[in-house]
């Protein structure tokens, strides 16, 4: 016993020798609780290759720090019943902020990946101005104050932003890059709480991968189908960033021989024909060419039609919308087939607004994958729709902050 708390030790870079090893073992214990769930002293001792008294001592210290809880005795086939231990959900909390184009979702997550409070679709217009940044900070600040847990109980804030993000430096290259300091530091100073920035698709991906059904998968994609196309990659069981954190940019891979200029400045990007933006563009064009659709009736000016309207129309079985979403799916499938051939994943999760059309987009994607990727490889790959929807963004942001602060990931 050093008398220092887990977090004090963690922040102390000078820690060596016995204290260092104890800290490492504590991290392993917490990591086990996070990834595998509750466990007995005997379980931990066996799995982490440490003696029972040692594990018992460290677990007790973690209980003293408020991070771990004794969940009481459990059933046993025979013999004395063991106590199980696990994370203490009420010890500390994390705030996940999921920034969309026209609104923000905020979630307060506990240690065990439950969103104890959420505030969805808070009006906010994502613009690259100091005013928008101020407004964002105010929204987060008010959310924390009204959450009733007290600011000191909030260990960290995770912010999901679209575009290229370098999470290590905390810089955003697409929004709020008008000051010298990295964005994460700016928010941190405004709110007085540790803040981590993350690419939105990657954060959602982390939420999906860490939640329930998919914790055993080691190599997976999460494909975020909104106006643009984003992706989060799980490779060898780790979130993959690439050299500067720009990995996963599937939207701008050159796969078409078209002349459509993408907003990235290049031609032939996947996004030009297989994104929500492309769907909207093509839909409006077809309406203007005289195609019939239930959407057309509601909009005297076809230019006013939004992506949401088209997706709504799919659900109402509008023929034009269904036809076009299938086309988009077919093209997306070709892009995904490329990835499957290269990375041989076990799981592909489709999420984002377009994924809400269910089989209408999923089946064309599946058939394109079968057509364009090698059977031996794509047989390994399960294709599923996200079932978490908007939750995944907030939850992923909270999880990333938790796991970074506990130094379970780097």
Partner DNA sequence: AGTAGTTAATTAATTATTTTATTAATTAAG
Partner DNA sequence: CTTAATTAATAAAATAATTAATTAACTACT
Contact flag: residue 240 with a copy of itself (CB under 8 A): yes
Contact flag: residue 332 with a copy of itself (CB under 8 A): no
Closest distance to a copy of itself from the beta carbon of 111 (Å): 26
Task: Region of 184 please: left (phi>0), alpha (psi -120 to 50) or beta.
Answer: alpha
Q: How many residues bind a copy of itself (CB under 8 A)?
A: 51
Spatial strand order of the sheet with 238-239 comes to 238-239, 229-235, 220-225, 347-351, 382-385
54 contact, one of DNA, a copy of itself, none, CB 5-8 Å limit per kind:
DNA
Evaluate whether 164 touches 246 at the Cβ level (below 8 Å): yes
Length reported for the chain:
410
Q: Which residue, 127 or 266, has its beta carbon nearer to a copy of itself?
A: 266
Q: Which residue, 44 or 311, has its beta carbon nearer to a copy of itself?
A: 44
83 has which bridge partners? 73
CA-wise closest residue to 161 among 224, 233, 93, 236: 224
Site residues, DNA (CB under 7 A): 16-19, 21-22, 40-42, 50-54, 56-57, 73, 76-83
Closest distance to a copy of itself from the beta carbon of 408 (Å): 15
Contact flag: residue 47 with a copy of itself (CB under 8 A): no
Q: Which residue, 109 or 345, has its beta carbon nearer to a copy of itself?
A: 345
Contact flag: residue 103 with a copy of itself (CB under 8 A): no
Token output for 322? 């269904």
Span interacting with a copy of itself, options 3-11, 30-38, 262-270, 387-395, rule CB under 8 A: 262-270
Closest distance to DNA from the beta carbon of 67 (Å): 18
343 contact, one of DNA, a copy of itself, none, CB 5-8 Å limit per kind:
a copy of itself
Evaluate whether 407 touches 27 at the Cβ level (below 8 Å): yes
Contact flag: residue 216 with a copy of itself (CB under 8 A): no
Report the residue from 137, 291, 343, 363 that binds a copy of itself according to the rule CB under 8 A: 343
CB-side neighbour CA atoms (13 Å) of 143: 28
Evaluate whether 94 touches 108 at the Cβ level (below 8 Å): yes
> How many CB atoms are closer than 10 A to CB 38?
17
Closest distance to a copy of itself from the beta carbon of 18 (Å): 10
Token output for 10? 């963690």
Token output for 314? 């799919």
Contact flag: residue 177 with a copy of itself (CB under 8 A): no
301 contact, one of DNA, a copy of itself, none, CB 5-8 Å limit per kind:
none
- CA dist 334 and 370 (Å) reads 9
406 contact, one of a copy of itself, DNA, none, CB 5-8 Å limit per kind:
none
User: Binding pattern to a copy of itself, positions 18-37, x when CB under 8 A?
Assistant: --xx----------------
Evaluate whether 351 touches 225 at the Cβ level (below 8 Å): yes
Q: Which residue, 9 or 208, has its beta carbon nearer to DNA?
A: 9
Query: What are the CA-CA distances from residue 272 to residues 72, 286, 303, 306 (Å)?
Result: 57, 16, 18, 17
Report the residue from 346, 362, 363, 408 that binds a copy of itself according to the rule CB under 8 A: 346
Q: Is 84 helix (H, G, I), strand (E, B) or coil?
A: strand
Q: What is the DSSP string of 326-364?
A: HHHHHHHHHHHHHHHHHH--SEEEEESGGGGGTHHHHHH
Contact flag: residue 372 with a copy of itself (CB under 8 A): yes
Where along the sequence are the contacts to a copy of itself (CB under 8 A)?
16-17, 20-21, 49, 51, 164, 173, 218-219, 231, 235-236, 238, 240-250, 252-255, 257, 264, 266, 268, 334, 337-339, 341-346, 371-374, 376-377, 380-381
């Amino acid at each position: 016993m050093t008398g220092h708390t887990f977090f004090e030790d963690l922040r102390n870079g000078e820690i060596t020798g016995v204290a260092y090893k104890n800290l490492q073992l504590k991290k392993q214990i917490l990591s086990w609780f996070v990834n595998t769930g509750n466990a007995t002293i005997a379980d931990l001792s066996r799995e982490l290759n440490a003696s029972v008294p040692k594990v018992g001592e460290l677990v007790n210290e973690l209980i003293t720090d408020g991070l771990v809880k004794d969940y009481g005795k459990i059933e046993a086939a025979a013999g004395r019943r063991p106590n199980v231990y696990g994370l203490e959900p009420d010890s500390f909390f994390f705030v996940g902020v999921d920034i969309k184009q026209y609104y923000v979702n905020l979630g307060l997550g506990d240690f065990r990946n439950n969103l104890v409070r959420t505030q969805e679709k808070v009006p906010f217009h994502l613009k690259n101005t100091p005013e928008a940044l101020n407004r964002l900070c105010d929204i987060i600040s008010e959310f924390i104050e009204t959450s009733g847990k007290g600011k000191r109980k909030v260990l960290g804030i995770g912010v999901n932003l679209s575009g290229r993000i370098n999470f290590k430096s905390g810089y955003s290259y697409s929004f709020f890059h008008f000051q010298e300091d990295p964005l994460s530091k700016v928010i941190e100073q405004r709110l007085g709480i540790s803040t981590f920035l993350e690419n939105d698709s990657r954060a959602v991906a982390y939420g999906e991968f860490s939640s329930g059904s998919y914790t055993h998968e080691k190599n997976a994609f999460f494909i975020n189908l909104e106006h643009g196309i984003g992706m989060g990659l799980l490779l060898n069981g780790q979130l993959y960033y690439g050299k500067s954190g720009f990995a996963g940019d599937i939207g701008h891979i050159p796969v078409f021989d078209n002349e459509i200029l993408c907003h990235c400045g290049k031609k032939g990007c996947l996004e030009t024909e297989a994104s929500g933006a492309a769907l909207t563009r093509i839909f409006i064009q077809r309406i203007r060419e005289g195609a019939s659709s239930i959407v057309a009736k509601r909009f005297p000016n076809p230019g006013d039609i939004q992506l949401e309207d088209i997706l709504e129309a799919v659900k109402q079985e509008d023929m034009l919308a269904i036809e076009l979403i299938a086309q988009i799916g077919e093209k997306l499938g070709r892009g995904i087939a490329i990835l499957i051939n290269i990375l041989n994943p076990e799981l592909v999760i489709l999420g984002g607004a377009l994924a809400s059309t269910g089989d209408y987009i999923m089946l064309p994607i599946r058939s394109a994958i079968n057509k364009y990727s090698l059977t031996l490889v794509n047989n390994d790959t399960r294709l599923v729709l996200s079932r978490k929807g908007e939750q995944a963004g907030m939850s992923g942001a909270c999880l990333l902050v938790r796991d970074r602060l506990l130094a379970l990931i780097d």
